[in-house]
Structure 1
Amino acid sequence: MPSTLIRNTSYDEAARILSIWFVTSRNRYDYMDVPPGIYDDFRHAFSKGRFFNQHIRDVYRYRIYRS
């Protein structure tokens, strides 16, 4: 999952929470109510950053956990 924007991700399918750790801020953002299909598409996207910007960033509510 090499990306210049995203360091790591995890997904809790039962809670539908997508967690993303960003390279620059090193903070974790938890995106709520993300459908499993979106996460699957995200995992398989050629550009994780582009997919995130187009399909996740301004679409789902989130919480920030500062490192």
Structure 2
Amino acid sequence: MKRTPVTSSNLASVGYDPTTQTLEIEFKNRSIYQYVDVPENVYNELMQAASHGSYFNGCIRGAFIYRKVSR
């Protein structure tokens, strides 16, 4: 999945597949996780948030099923 680099102390890049509603996040430690059944508006809000890390922690972490895909 193609990811876009983000400016964050914790997140390195973010990708999204609207067909499968899969959100992919690469963290600064190079681990990559995919979050499933994430609505496109959540992805858009994450990308537009003033703080990507704060949005992730408040609205995504713990709210969606995920799987580790790398590292």
When normalised by structure 1's length, the TM-score is 0.94
Quick one: which amino acid aligns to residue 27 of structure 2?
F
* Aligned ranges 1:23-62 → 2 under 5 Å: 23-24=28-29, 26-62=30-66
Any unmatched runs of 5+ in structure 2? Answer: 1-5
Give how far 1:27 is off: 1.0
The alignment yields a C-alpha RMSD, in angstroms, of 0.7
Instruction: Give 1:6's aligned residue.
Output: 11
Q: For each residue in 1:1-27, what CA deviation from the matched residue of structure 2 results, as whole angstroms up to 9, or x when unmatched?
A: 210100001000010000000002x11
When normalised by structure 2's length, the TM-score is 0.89
Task: Give the ranges of 4+ consecutive aligned residues of structure 1 lying more than 2 Å apart after TM superposition.
Answer: none
Any unmatched runs of 5+ in structure 1? Answer: none
Q: For each residue in 1:19-67, what CA deviation from the matched residue of structure 2 results, as whole angstroms up to 9, or x when unmatched?
A: 000002x111000000001111000000000000000001000000123
